[in-house]
Structure 1
Amino acid sequence: MARDKGLEEVLADELRSEPGITEKAMFGGWAWLKNGNLLCGARDDGMLVRLGKDRDAWALKIPGIVPMISRGRRMNGWVWAASEAYGNDVLRRKLMDAALEFTRSLPGK
């Protein structure tokens, strides 16, 4: 997979002021971690967002957002957003706020 530098820049800008954020290459793209816990990721085919188990139903009702599937299995609490979803600034921010709220509740690694 190729990286999406534009999406990476947008996410980096949005997360810059959040304490405990680190970045690294993962999953063929770029990922952000909050206190060592995976928060979100960007690739050329979409944006991965960690909302937490049983916290993703609202997002899955939105066009362009689907459950994250890895090796044929649904990853509960993780969603995959296509460009029509993450390209909407308000929706992307809502997803990121929900992801941050969840990852803040996790113990640091």
Structure 2
Amino acid sequence: MRSIFSDRKDVEVKKMFVGLCFMISKHMYCGFVGDTLMVRVGPEQYAKCLAEKYAREIDFTGKALKGMVYVTVEGVAKDADLQKWVDRCTKFISSLDPRGSD
């Protein structure tokens, strides 16, 4: 994952929840909980992404986090599969207003 972001200067890696989270321009982008990919795809892509094989809702609080999905390791086994999910995150994050520094 780090190699995907190697050319970006606006990526931060933080420990969050029970895993590792990648932040872009101060927005949560994607991450890993164990070997499961956690992706922020936004509300418009949410239902379509949940329909994908190997994807499921994130519900660690007992309530689904709309706009975010888990993808099992089988769903990102190939580089092209991982890139597809990263591209979906990029599409959503690009639609958000940039955050200033804290």
Identical-pair percentage: 22
- 2:52 maps to 62
Q: Distance in 2 between matches of 1:53 and 1:61?
A: 14
Note the 1:33-72 alignment, pairs <5 A.
33-72=23-62
Give the drift of 1:95: 0.8
Q: Distance in 1 between matches of 2:4 and 2:95?
A: 19
8 Å CA contact 1:54–1:76 kept in 2: the answer is no
Q: Which runs of 4+ in 1 moved over 4 A?
A: none
Q: More helix by proportion, 1 or 2?
A: 1
Note the 1:1-109 alignment, pairs <5 A.
11-109=1-99
8 Å CA contact 1:51–1:77 kept in 2: the answer is yes
- TM-score for the superposition, normalised by structure 2: 0.87
8 Å CA contact 1:59–1:65 kept in 2: the answer is yes
State the SS of the aligned residue for 1:57. Answer: helix
Structure 2 unmatched ranges of 5 or more:
none
Q: Distance in 2 between matches of 1:29 and 1:71?
A: 15
Q: Distance in 2 between matches of 1:91 and 1:14?
A: 13
Q: More strand by proportion, 1 or 2?
A: 1
- The CA RMSD measured in Å over matched residues stands at 1.4
Q: Distance in 1 between matches of 2:97 and 2:60?
A: 24
Q: Distance in 1 between matches of 2:79 and 2:49?
A: 15
Give the drift of 1:108: 2.2
- TM-score for the superposition, normalised by structure 1: 0.82
Deviations 1:69-91 (A, max 9, x none): 13110111100011110223212
Structure 1 unmatched ranges of 5 or more:
1-10
